[in-house]
Structure 1
Amino acid sequence: MLYNRYWDRVLSLAYRKTGDRMEAENIVQDVFVSLWKRRESLRIKGDFSHYLFVSVKYRVLKVLAKQSAVRSVSLDMATEILDDSTQQYLDFEEIRERLEVLVGKLPVKSRLVYQMKNEDKSYKEIAAELKISEKAVDAHLLRARRKLRVELGSFLGSFLL
């Protein structure tokens, strides 16, 4: 009887405060379920409608506080991810720049072979273009990679400290 008498007014109040019909329905339902569970021990002094509206307002505040906390945590996580990705990008750029400098210091043939291989050319294409054997392409590429690995390894060691 109390539910039928008041549900539409308290639902209207909850909806105005939350702006979400489903959330407002959940709040009203929770308040009435709570009243039903405590019906035997509950002693309301004064007007029942006043008690009911105050209960709904407190439940709305509780829900809004919870939503705000979730949004805050989500925002903090997003900010942390963005901050981390920005740092990762800067780190990557520094490593990429260092790699370019090191590639520039390679012997001419090794540098050409390395750059052509990074352009996804096959050993056969590189060999034909530079007029060397495929075995020579492999040797130049092996030397270039080994030198870069050593140089970048020492750079990364100091970079990560």
Structure 2
Amino acid sequence: MRDQYILELFEAIRNGDRDAFEKFYNETWFPLFQIAISKTRDEAEAQDIVQDLYIRLWERREAIVIASNPSAYLRVMLRNEVVRRLRNALELQQKKHLYAFSLQDLAENIEDIVLTKELETQLDKEINKLSPKQKEIFLMYYVEGQSSAQIASKLAIAEQTVKNQLVVSKRRLKILIEGLAYAQIIAYIFR
């Protein structure tokens, strides 16, 4: 009986009914939140995951088809979101580790320290040359480790706009980043 009610609510959601969405949310969020807490062991992260799940559900409502068992469908969505976030966190951790290792390796002697500081200063200057929106998106993505979907949601813009801004930013910074890699190689060779 409950699943039928949830399915009816979802059909109304597919037609853009915001009241049905609110009822759907109120009927289904808590079990998902409990699962998210058990997987993340972090209440704030669990709240973010569940919130993102419902945002994604609303944004894709017209394309999603739930034939039966809406609870199972939502649990699969939740699992996919948890896995995606864990993967992103792992990638960010790996990037931080590689970056820290590269900086430590470069800073072995005083010349390397000076070179690293100059390159960091140049990179900061180039980042500051980006438009305010590009800079904000670039920092949210590369420094804070947020996904393009999270950034789009927070800035109330399309996810594709976020991706486009990141491509433009990377193109502008590509030469400097390649120069940084070249300087690292030179410093390593002449050590």
Q: TM-score under structure 2 normalisation?
A: 0.43
**How high is the sequence identity, in percent, across the aligned residues?**
31
Q: 1:2 aligns with which of 24, 37, 44?
A: 24
Structure 2 CA distance for aligned equivalents of residues 35 and 70 of structure 1 = 26
Structure 1 CA distance for aligned equivalents of residues 101 and 62 of structure 2 = 49
Q: How many residues align?
A: 93
Unaligned runs of 5+ in 2: 1-22, 113-189
Partner deviation per Cα, 1:67-93 (whole Å, 9 max, x = no partner): 11111000111111222223x16x9xx
Structure 1 CA distance for aligned equivalents of residues 93 and 59 of structure 2 = 32
Partner deviation per Cα, 1:30-56 (whole Å, 9 max, x = no partner): 111222233334211220000001100
- AA paired with 1:63? R
Provide the residue aligned with 1:80 in structure 2. 102
Structure 2 CA distance for aligned equivalents of residues 61 and 25 of structure 1 = 15
User: Aligned-pair RMSD on alpha carbons?
Assistant: 2.6
Structure 1 CA distance for aligned equivalents of residues 60 and 105 of structure 2 = 49
Structure 2 CA distance for aligned equivalents of residues 53 and 27 of structure 1 = 12
Provide the residue aligned with 1:58 in structure 2. 80
Structure 1 CA distance for aligned equivalents of residues 85 and 42 of structure 2 = 11
Structure 1 CA distance for aligned equivalents of residues 102 and 59 of structure 2 = 43
Structure 2 CA distance for aligned equivalents of residues 42 and 71 of structure 1 = 33
Unaligned runs of 5+ in 1: 92-159
Is residue 2:63 matched to residue 1:30? no
Provide the residue aligned with 2:66 in structure 1. 44
Provide the residue aligned with 2:150 in structure 1. none
Greater C-alpha Rg: 1
Is residue 2:16 matched to residue 1:19? no
